[in-house]
Amino acid sequence: MTVLRFVLGDQLSISLSSLSDLDPANDVILMAEVMEEATYTPHHTRKIAFVFSAMRHFAATMEKAGATVRYVRLDDTGNTGTLRGELIRATEDLVPDRVVVTEAGEWRLRSEMAKWQQLIGTPVELREDDRFVCSHEEFRSWADGRKQLRMEFFYRDMRRKTGLLMTAAGKPEGGQWNFDTENRRSLPAGLAVPKLTRFEPDSTTLEVLDLVSDRFSQHFGDLDAFDYAVTAEEAETALQAFLDKRLAGFGPYQDAMKQGEDHLFHAVISMYLNVGLLDPVSVCRRAERAYLDGAAPLNAVEGFIRQIIGWREYVRGIYWLHMPDYAQTNYLEANRPLPSFYWTGDTKLNCLHQAIDETRRLAYAHHIQRLMITGNFALLVGVRPQEICDWYLAVYADAYEWVELPNTHGMAIFADGGVMASKPYAASGAYIDRMSDYCRGCRYDVKQKTGDDACPFNYLYWNFLMKNAEKLRGNRRLAMPYRTLDRMDPDRKASIQRDSGRFLEELSK
Ligand code: FAD
Ligand code: DLZ
Ligand code: SF4
């Protein structure tokens, strides 16, 4: 009895639900590099290379373990270019008794999967993706009846469920759930930042790099000096280097930004977690161990674990709870096209230039760059939700809609009207100046509030609050800025509107 087990490019985990009862003697694993998945959004070339190389390495690992893999390369003759086409071809060739597949992470593909059985006329068993702490069902029942779905309360439940950083008495380690008051510091001058571990491309990766530079030359992003981990073992090495050298600094400096330091104290593991090369709970247990061994302080370890069992699980829950309608909302009625410099980095606003340039080089930018630089700017100038979401989905190596969309649509641009965030993450230049050294190298002056040389974030921030007053004034967390606005001198208000009008007009050209 042959079972065809279809494994997608972000399902590269030996413990995957669709492989749990693999019979290597009879079953066939199907994996396919297809144009449709590589182009449904114009993915960064580094992301395509990473996914294809990791897929090829995973197939080789499975074959070494005795499994039979039908691996379809992008340039193989007969490649239909779609996952459904490859499924049809494989079922016609192999005539399996049934197909087993773990549900896709993105709504687009998950809803297509529901039609596969009818399409091929063979039973298709869709299995839950159990590489997460919280199932769809569990999130739904957590959300049921709650007025507000705040991450902090969800996170506490995930701590209780996993037992991570919990005492024997069932209390949070250190007597608090959250140590962020000890975090969010700016970088002290001269602080040395450990370098990231590089992985030299092997012959498989080199072949993929040639393929990608040949077939996707029109896509955004640099492919030079590709150095990602592409196997579970390499991802494990990358994680270990983070735990040894950067975890202790993760807490205090997780919101800091510095020109020329692309990763600072971040883990740089999201792309590995999201394709399954690392397991989220194991990663957290390793960080917890570092705390228990005295190698990293509690504020850093708790903050790191919160990102994974808190934020990562929570955004996935929100996505599946509200899709497909979630992607359609536009609470602030934002209607501006995405400025073209998001694709080139060609802007005089140095913070934006740095964040976009890093994104182009590495398919990576850390959270605060995504939220408070590119996200904040899109929020303040009112970029159309779909255009900014499509950009984030395309440009980051870790981008899959289940995690990208709530972070962008909800957290960064408030297009969901507050499902995710209790207020818009809008900030003026003062925040960027406090958390980075970008302003020193900028043509604009962050201290100036109005006029040609003033930092555009300064007037755009107040302009945003004025423009959206009807929708935002009632938000208690914005009471203070609205009080300041109400007391503001009318001349100052007029110059804010004038400067913003001029800037936005220029942006539209
Ligand atoms: P670290 O800062 O070291 O954090 C450790 C891990 O925690 C990450 O690897 C990630 O798995 C998890 N994590 C941290 N913050 C979040 C979060 N807000 N949501 C989900 N997981 C989180 N993350 C993605 O994985 N894919 C995306 O497409 C994505 N798009 C984003 C878009 C916007 C506008 C914003 C503001 C954030 C986005 N994030 C996304 C979340 C976050 O920015 C990245 O997970 C993080 O920058 C990855 O780098 P790191 O591994 O060095 O993370
Ligand atoms: C991201 C990606 C890319 C670039 N290419 C492929 C591919 O050729 N074949 C494949 O099976 N998966 C690919 N992926 C990952 C899928 O896009 C991902 O499985 C869906 O977006 C669902 O999360
Ligand atoms: Fe960005 Fe304003 Fe600072 Fe320039 S001055 S880097 S635009 S915050």
Average pLDDT of span 178-200? 88
> Domain ends where: 127, 151, 176?
127
CATH number of 174's domain:
1.25.40.80
Which pLDDT score is estimated for 1?
Answer: 63
CATH number of 351's domain:
1.10.579.10
Mean predicted lDDT score pLDDT of the chain: 96
Q: Which atom of ligand 3 is nearest to the CA of 438?
A: 6
Confidence of residue 209 (pLDDT cuts 50, 70, 90): very high
Residues 162, 306 within the same domain? yes
Average pLDDT of span 144-172? 95
Confidence of residue 75 (pLDDT cuts 50, 70, 90): very high
204 inside domain = no
Percent of the chain whose pLDDT exceeds 70: 100
Which pLDDT score is estimated for 251?
Answer: 83
Residues 492, 433 within the same domain? yes
Q: Buried (b) or exposed (e) across 53-88, using 16+ Cβ within 10 A? A: bbbbbbbebbeeeebebbbbbbeeeebbeebbbbbb
Residue with tokens 């641009």: 413
27 inside domain = yes
Q: Which atom of ligand 1 is nearest to the CA of 269?
A: 51
Nearest to 208 by CA among 77, 60, 45: 45
Residues 359, 405 within the same domain? yes
Which pLDDT score is estimated for 189?
Answer: 83
Pocket flag, ligand 3, residue 432 (CB < 6 Å):
yes
Residues 100, 143 within the same domain? no
> Domain ends where: 79, 94, 127?
127
101 inside domain = yes
Residues 379, 278 within the same domain? no
Two tokens, residue 501: 């009008």
The answer to whether residue 188 scores a pLDDT higher than 90 is no
Ligand with an atom nearest the CA of residue 246: 1
Residue nearest to atom 28 of ligand 1 (CA): 399
The answer to whether residue 368 scores a pLDDT higher than 70 is yes
Residues 121, 146 within the same domain? no
Which pLDDT score is estimated for 183?
Answer: 80
For residue range 88-131, list pLDDT tens digits in order: 999 999 999 999 999 999 999 999 999 999 999 999 999 999 99
CATH number of 77's domain:
3.40.50.620
Ligand with an atom nearest the CA of residue 354: 3
The answer to whether residue 403 scores a pLDDT higher than 80 is yes
Which pLDDT score is estimated for 191?
Answer: 86
9 inside domain = yes
CA dist 229 to 48, 58, 194, 267, Å?
A: 14, 12, 18, 13
Residues lining ligand 2, judged by CB closer than 6 Å? 8-10, 32-34, 37-38, 43, 48, 51, 83, 104-106, 109, 400
Q: Which atom of ligand 3 is nearest to the CA of 457?
A: 2
Ligand with an atom nearest the CA of residue 317: 1
> Domain ends where: 289, 322, 355?
322
Residues 290, 386 within the same domain? no
Ligand with an atom nearest the CA of residue 439: 3
Residues 386, 468 within the same domain? yes
Average pLDDT of span 128-148? 95
For residue range 32-62, list pLDDT tens digits in order: 999 999 999 999 999 999 999 999 999 999 9
Number of folded domains that form the chain: 3
What is the distance in A from the centroid of ligand 1 to the CA of 372?
13
Residues 478, 346 within the same domain? yes
Q: Nearest 5°: phi and psi at 449?
A: -95, -30
The answer to whether residue 238 scores a pLDDT higher than 90 is yes
- CA pair distance 492, 482, nearest whole angstrom: 15
Tell me which residue range forms the domain holding 148: 136-194+246-322
Residues 78, 145 within the same domain? no
List, in sequence order, the alpha helices (H) in 35-191: 35-39, 45-64, 83-94, 107-113, 116-120, 136-143, 151-162
What is the distance in A from the centroid of ligand 3 to the CA of 458?
9
- CA pair distance 275, 11, nearest whole angstrom: 6
431 inside domain = yes
Q: Which atom of ligand 1 is nearest to the CA of 266?
A: 3
- CA pair distance 371, 412, nearest whole angstrom: 6
19 inside domain = yes
332 inside domain = no
216 inside domain = no
Ligand with an atom nearest the CA of residue 52: 2
Residues 89, 183 within the same domain? no
Which pLDDT score is estimated for 186?
Answer: 81
What is the distance in A from the centroid of ligand 2 to the CA of 8?
6
Which pLDDT score is estimated for 190?
Answer: 83
For residue range 419-459, list pLDDT tens digits in order: 999 999 999 999 999 999 999 999 999 999 999 999 999 99
What is the distance in A from the centroid of ligand 3 to the CA of 383?
19
Residues 75, 155 within the same domain? no
Average pLDDT of span 332-358? 97
Two tokens, residue 496: 């804010």
What is the distance in A from the centroid of ligand 3 to the CA of 437?
9
Cross-strand bridge partners of residue 125 = 100
What is the distance in A from the centroid of ligand 2 to the CA of 106?
10
The answer to whether residue 413 scores a pLDDT higher than 70 is yes
Q: Which atom of ligand 1 is nearest to the CA of 408?
A: 34
